[in-house]
Amino acid sequence: MTILLYDLVGRDPARPYSPHCWKTAMSLAHKGLDFHSVPTTFIEVPNVEGGVSKTIPVIRDGETVVADSFQIALYLDEAYPDRPTLFGGEGGKAMARFIERWSQLTIHPYLGAAALMDIFAYQDNDNLAYFRESREARFGKKLEDVSAIRDAGLAAFRASLEPLRSMLGYQPFIGGKGPLFADYIVFGAFQWVRVTSPYPYLASDDPVAEWFERCLDLHGGLARKVTAEAAA
Amino acid sequence: MTILLYDLVGRDPARPYSPHCWKTAMSLAHKGLDFHSVPTTFIEVPNVEGGVSKTIPVIRDGETVVADSFQIALYLDEAYPDRPTLFGGEGGKAMARFIERWSQLTIHPYLGAAALMDIFAYQDNDNLAYFRESREARFGKKLEDVSAIRDAGLAAFRASLEPLRSMLGYQPFIGGKGPLFADYIVFGAFQWVRVTSPYPYLASDDPVAEWFERCLDLHGGLARKVTAEAAA
């Protein structure tokens, strides 16, 4: 049976962009499971599956509804143990949590601020006001002022990726020879800005950019099929 | 047969202090293997096992000699598969490399600089000159000037631990419910400064300090038996 993925979209329903929904799309593809993406904008999230979660991704797999990309990955490995693992054992399950926290605390704050105006511009008309109000309340300043850090923060952001960059000198994926959920955790953040923003967050000769390209090739190029945002 | 661990010491041969040797001591204890620590100072390292490595830890297990704490952990899991795992599967093996790179690039630069004068003072008389010359060449300045960053850098250092701190809200060890080699990787860095320096690198109510205390309790309190450096 096809799994439903409630997938965050903006003005283009064919180009989902949420970092967390991308973690789940890649997880489903990794497990080789058929899934159907249900385009969902911010203001539609409260109605997803009777309001089961304040955020998406949410999946429905038959009678089972699961929210949160990490919980979904755990569910998929437990429900489909005969398909390729997302964690590579109990140690990988535990350490993926460290990587999730590292990604959320190292990568997301800069990208979320730097790309904020692009993500705003990516909303459809019905979501523009919601996005501006909710984000300006969260940051305590105007969107335009938040994303003004983009250029000044770029060098420090690229430097903060050094643990990942250095690790890529040992192995091609965070998961080792092949990708695991830990790769999709970090991949989601860069796919978020690839789909919404033409800004060069990574230098093209950065090993991190080369790893990202390898991720775009995975699972029949699932993530590459969604085109990158072009410069205006 | 008892395994030999060539273990870095300073003026007190009973209080080994190397972050990397501690990773290996904890790994050997985790596997439940008998080992004998061979106290080794910096200037003795070139003679260890015929000069097999520029650095220690080095272990001898019967006819097998292995250098580098990560390689030793991999060796131990392969040679003793029936004893408790250090990685928890292939995923854990891969992700431990990310954590090793994070620790080396986030924790070590500050601690290595901030504690430099204490580590210098911890050398025996025969190693003082070697230590000063080699470190001043590496840093390109006097030891005293390197460690002058200690107070000014402390807040940023503590903030840089946020991914670990945040992860500890989910689970008691990097390895999950119990420790794995990834815990020993980070533990080693804090044990290094615990043994050589009385400076409060961690606030006592920091969840990272609480995790470190849990590590000191492991394996019969192996690491706690080596006393902390007292304030002069």
> Shortest Cα distance from A133 to chain B (angstroms)?
28
Which residues of chain B neighbour A101 with C-beta distances below 8 Å?
162-164, 166-167, 170
Min distance B194 CA to chain A CA atoms (Å): 24
Which of A30, A85, A93, A98 to probe the B interface (max B CBs under 10 A)? A98
Is A191 a member of any domain?
A: yes
pLDDT by 10s per residue, chain A, length 232: 899 999 999 999 999 999 999 999 999 999 999 999 999 999 999 999 999 999 999 999 999 999 999 999 999 999 999 999 999 999 999 999 999 999 999 999 999 999 999 999 999 999 999 999 999 999 999 999 999 999 999 999 999 999 999 999 999 999 999 999 999 999 999 999 999 999 999 999 999 999 999 999 999 999 999 999 887 6
In-domain check, residue B202:
yes
Do the domain assignments include residue B85? no
Which tens digit of pLDDT belongs to each residue from B47-95?
Answer: 999 999 999 999 999 999 999 999 999 999 999 999 999 999 999 999 9
> Do residues A33 and A125 share a domain?
no
Q: What SS3 class is residue A20?
A: helix
Q: Are residues A213 and A109 in the same domain?
A: yes
CB–CB contact B89 A94 (8 Å): no
A170 and A101: one domain?
A: yes
CB B43 within 8 A of CB B126: yes
Residues B197 and B175 placed together within one structural domain of the fold: yes
Residues B40 and B102 in one domain: no
Is there a contact between B21 and B79 (Cβ–Cβ < 8 Å)?
Answer: no
The verdict on residue A152 lying in a domain is yes
CB atoms within 10 A of CB B83: 13
Task: List residues in chain A touching B: CB distance below 8 A.
Answer: 85, 87-99, 101-102, 104-106, 162-164, 166-167, 170-171, 173-177, 180, 182
Q: Are residues B169 and B63 in the same domain?
A: no
Contacts of B171 in chain A (CB under 8 A): 94, 97
- The reply to whether A113 and A203 lie within a common domain is yes
CATH code where residue A165 lies: 1.20.1050.10
Helical (H) or strand (E) element with A66 = strand A64-67
Residue A112 carries which side chain, given as an amino acid letter? Answer: G
Q: Is A166 exposed, middle or buried (0-12, 13-18, 19+ CB in 10 A)?
A: middle
Say yes or no: A189 and A98 in one domain.
yes
Q: Are residues B32 and B72 in the same domain?
A: yes
A193 and A94 together in one domain: yes
Q: What is the pLDDT of residues B97-128, one digit of tens each?
A: 999 999 999 999 999 999 999 999 999 999 99
Instruction: Evaluate if residue B208 carries a pLDDT over 70.
Output: yes
Residue A26, both tokens: 């890649």
- What pLDDT score does A232 carry? 64
- Quick one: pLDDT at residue A94? 98
Is residue B229 one of the residues assigned to a domain? no
Structure token pair of residue A21? 């929904």
Residues in contact with A1: Cβ distance below 8 Å, sequence separation at least 6, in sequence order: A61, A62
Encoded tokens for A178: 């092949």
Last-in-domain residue among B28, B53, B79: B79
Question: Does the distance separating the beta carbons of B95 and A96 come in below 8 Å?
Answer: yes
The whole-number pLDDT of residue A152 equals 97
Domain finish residue from B50, B79, B108:
B79
Laid out side by side, the sheet with B3-8 consists of B35-40, B3-8, B58-61, B64-67
- B141 with B111: CB under 8 angstroms? no
CATH number of the domain at B41, please. 3.40.30.10
Query: Which residue type sits at A162?
Result: E
B144 to A106, B11, B19: CA distances (angstroms): 32, 20, 22
Given A33, A56, A79, the domain boundary residue is A79
Boundaries of domain holding A138: 90-221
Query: Would residue A104 count as lying in a domain?
Result: yes
Same structural domain, B207 and B100: yes
**Residue B226 within any structural domain of the chain:** no
Are residues A163 and B101, on separate chains, in Cβ contact within 8 Å?
yes
Q: Domain count of chain A? A: 2
**Claim to verify: residue B64 and residue B110 sit in the same structural domain:** no
Residue A229 lies in a domain: no
The nearest CA of chain A is from the CA of B179 a distance in Å of 10
Cα atoms in the Cβ-side hemisphere of radius 13 Å centred on A45: 19
Nearest chain A alpha carbon to B89 = A89
CA angle A78, A83, A89 (to 5 degrees): 55
